[in-house]
A and B are shown apart, each in its own frame.
Chain A
Amino acid sequence: MWVFLATEIMFFGGLFCAYLIYRRWYFPSFAAASKSMDAGLGATNTAVLICSSLTVVLAVWAAQTARRTLLIGMLILTMLFGLAFLGIKGKEYKDKFEEHHVPGASFSFENVPVPGHPGEYANPRHAQIFFALYFVMTGIHALHMIIGLGIFTWLLVLAWKDRFTPEWHTPVEIGGLYWHFVDIIWIYLFPLLYLIDRHP
């Protein structure tokens, strides 16, 4: 599983690399675009994912100590946190569509001031690249969340059938590792996309 996660690190690493390069090139526009994000919702989603990581680690502990009810409860809670995350993400996407911040024909980012530089405005074409990276990075992250929900549904079925024992609960551990990894990706996406250049 760790080898798979290593490949995932490189996969997301490429995206982070693209982000860093464009951020260097189009720094003022990236700052203006980043400032248009709803940092409150982003922080809420970070907290939601951290709570889900806690329930995952409790689920693994429940499997280790043969507590079936606790295991099922924690798996369900994890999935609820996951759904809450996706719900908030969906709300953010909806806002972006309404603000015409989605890259494409109807994209509009005119006369948005650059933070800290009065009289300067963001280049809409550069800001569009920020939003393209935002949608690709968070979209692929959300896809990972949806896959995670699928994995946890399967774990829930196995737990319901009482297949896990303290000796054999490898699927819970591996599913947990996957969930934590997706959490870690968000831990980096949150500051990079929402927080940097926030200050007035």
Chain B
Amino acid sequence: MSDHAKSSPLKMYFGIWATLLILTFVTYRVAFIDLDPFNAAVALAIATIKATLVALFFMHVWHASEKLTKLVIIGALFFLALLLGLTMTDYASRLWS
């Protein structure tokens, strides 16, 4: 754990909390604006930012995690990407034939 995290993590926790609430409000409001195909992209991008913030700071991946933890997370995300990526490339390319 770095010195910063030891000295006062409280400020950071409340900061992350406020950021998450603001992002929730933003994604809720943006959903009502017509961006055509980008609505889904914006919503998922904001969700990914929020999930990353929760994992890095609330789940302490950033400050106090071992290399093994990071390896497990990267591995899990890799296989999730395989599952979603390969499935969707299959379905997206079926109309070609």
Please indicate whether A and B come from the same complex rather than being unrelated chains: yes
A192 to B27, CA, bound (A): 12
Among B28-53, those with CB < 8 Å from A are: 28, 31-35, 39-40, 43-44, 46-47, 50-51
Q: Given the known A-B contacts A196-B40, A198-B39, are A56 and B58 also in contact in the complex, defined by CB atoms under 8 Å?
A: yes
Which A residues are in CB contact (< 8 Å) with B20? 50, 53
Q: What would 10 A/B residue contacts be, using CB atoms closer than 8 Å? A: A13-B80, A20-B84, A53-B58, A54-B17, A58-B13, A187-B47, A192-B43, A195-B43, A196-B31, A197-B40
Q: Tell whether, in the assembled complex, residue A188 and residue B24 are in contact, meaning their CB atoms are under 8 Å apart.
A: no
- CB nearest neighbor in A for B33: A199
Q: With contacts A53-B58, A188-B51 known, what are 11 further pairs, Cβ within 8 A?
A: A5-B76, A13-B80, A20-B88, A21-B87, A46-B24, A183-B54, A184-B51, A184-B54, A196-B31, A197-B39, A199-B33
Which B residues are in CB contact (< 8 Å) with A46? 24
Q: Tell whether, in the assembled complex, residue A180 and residue B47 are in contact, meaning their CB atoms are under 8 Å apart.
A: no
Interface SS of A by simple majority:
helix
- CB nearest neighbor in B for A43: B28
Which A residues are in CB contact (< 8 Å) with B55? 180, 184
Q: Which of B20, B34, B84, B91 has the most CB of A within 10 A?
A: B20
Q: Tell whether, in the assembled complex, residue B21 and residue A13 are in contact, meaning their CB atoms are under 8 Å apart.
A: no
| Chain A residue total in the interface (Cβ 8 A) | 44
Q: Tell whether, in the assembled complex, residue A190 and residue B47 are in contact, meaning their CB atoms are under 8 Å apart.
A: yes
Q: Tell whether, in the assembled complex, residue B47 and residue A200 are in contact, meaning their CB atoms are under 8 Å apart.
A: no
Q: Given the known A-B contacts A51-B17, A196-B39, are A9 and B77 also in contact in the complex, defined by CB atoms under 8 Å?
A: yes
- CB nearest neighbor in A for B13: A57
Q: Tell whether, in the assembled complex, residue B91 and residue A198 are in contact, meaning their CB atoms are under 8 Å apart.
A: no
- CB nearest neighbor in A for B65: A2
